[in-house]
């Protein structure tokens, strides 16, 4: 009996459990299907909304790209319309050609300094009739001659060398009377002191360095100077009235070729391809020269020593023919 009840119970339980399991399985399927529907119902709109947002996000970028392209094109057009900056010009050079050889002529004026000293010998104490004296003949006069040279040119800079020779009429004389004695009193009579300097010709040999401003050349120069100079002087102790008593003179006269230095500058202007005009200043110093004169007639031990300066300023203008 009990076994029958147990079997029945088991059978009913099994039947009910299967039914429950089936019911539970059916419920699970329904739940899963419901969840899928819900998920799809939510996911699809969300995806669609997201896609729409993405489209809205990319469209402005495309618009911006177009704007950028438009701006780039407008920028290129603007750049095309803006005038381009010209290239920096090459370093300028003088258009007038100063290079090459040249010859020419010049005329000018010179004025010099030829201080001449008179020194009594053997001493001023012994030679009482003459105090140490300085005279200034300061020669001046016209000059003229020829010049030639050669130039090299690099850009605005011009350098070269020039030689010239000038025949000169520069001369000067100075005389003083009466002669002053060592004690400051005049020597009695018609005595006098005189000196003369006469430049016969002079020349220079010198480099030149200048800066060219097209047809205008400004330059400096300096170098060797030389010249032929006549010197003369006399200390004449003649009495005031004619007499048979001899009087004493201390004459000196000679010529000498002197050398020294010169410096100056000038301007040269190109008139045409082959011709140029120049104006030039030079200072030259040919040094000092001394000479001791004996008395005539002889009167030892007395002598007079002379000393000359030979300096001058010259200004000349001329023309050059350029090869």
pLDDT tens for residues 262-317?
999 999 999 999 999 999 999 999 999 999 999 999 999 999 999 999 999 999 99
Separation between Cα atoms, residue 244 and residue 241, nearest integer Å? 10
Q: What percent of the chain has a predicted confidence (pLDDT) above 90?
A: 67
What pLDDT score does 241 carry? 79
Matching residue, tokens 């010169």: 262
pTM of the model: 0.69
pLDDT value at position 256? 97
Q: What mean pLDDT do residues 123-147 have?
A: 95
Q: Quote the pLDDT of residue 90.
A: 53
95 or 222, which is more confident: 222
Pair 270, 251: CB distance under 8 Å: no
Higher pLDDT, 102 or 44: 102
> For residue 74, what pLDDT is reported?
43
Picking from 18-32, 120-134, 210-224, which range would have the lowest pLDDT averaged per residue? 18-32
Question: Can you give the pLDDT at residue 240?
Answer: 81
Chain segment 211-266, per-residue pLDDT in tens = 999 999 999 999 999 999 999 999 999 988 777 778 999 999 999 999 999 999 99
| List of residues 6+ apart from 54 with CB closer than 8 A | none
Indicate if the pLDDT at residue 35 is higher than 50: no
Most confident of the following: 70-74, 124-128, 254-258? 254-258
Top CATH class of 100-322 equals: mainly beta
Cβ neighbours of residue 162 under 8 Å, at least 6 residues apart?
147, 148, 149, 204, 205, 206, 207, 208, 221
Q: What confidence tier does 17 reach under pLDDT thresholds 50, 70, 90?
A: very low
- Decide if 258 contacts 285 (C-beta within 8 A): no
Average pLDDT over residues 42-59: 40
């Amino acid at each position: 009996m009990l076994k029958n009840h147990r079997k029945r119970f088991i059978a009913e339980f099994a039947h009910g459990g299967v039914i429950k399991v089936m019911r539970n399985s059916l419920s699970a399927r329904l739940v899963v299907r419901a969840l899928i529907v819900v998920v799809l119902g939510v996911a699809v709109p969300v995806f669609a909304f997201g896609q729409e947002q993405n489209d809205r996000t990319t469209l402005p970028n495309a618009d911006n790209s177009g704007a950028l392209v438009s701006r780039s094109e407008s920028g290129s057009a603007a750049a095309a319309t803006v005038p381009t900056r010209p290239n920096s010009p090459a370093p300028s050079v003088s258009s007038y050609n100063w290079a090459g050889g040249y010859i020419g002529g010049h005329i000018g004026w010179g004025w010099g300094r030829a201080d001449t000293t008179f020194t009594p010998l053997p001493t001023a104490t012994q030679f009482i009739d003459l105090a140490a004296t300085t005279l200034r003949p300061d020669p001046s006069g016209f000059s003229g001659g020829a010049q030639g040279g050669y130039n090299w040119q690099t850009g605005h800079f011009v350098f070269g060398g020039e030689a010239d020779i000038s025949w000169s009429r520069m001369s000067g004389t100075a005389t003083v009377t009466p002669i002053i004695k060592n004690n400051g009193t005049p020597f009695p009579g018609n005595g006098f002191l005189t000196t003369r300097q006469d430049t016969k010709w002079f020349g220079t040999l010198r480099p030149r360095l200048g800066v060219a401003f097209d047809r205008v050349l400004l330059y400096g120069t300096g170098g060797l100077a030389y010249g032929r100079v006549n010197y003369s002087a006399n200390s004449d102790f003649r009495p005031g009235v004619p007499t048979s008593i001899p009087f004493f003179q201390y004459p000196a006269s000679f010529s000498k070729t002197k050398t020294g230095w010169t410096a100056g500058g000038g301007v040269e202007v190109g008139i045409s391809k082959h011709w140029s005009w120049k104006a030039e200043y030079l200072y030259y110093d040919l040094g000092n020269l001394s000479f001791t004169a004996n008395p005539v007639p002889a009167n030892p031990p007395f002598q007079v020593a002379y000393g000359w300066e030979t300096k001058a300023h010259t200004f000349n203008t001329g023309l050059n023919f350029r090869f």
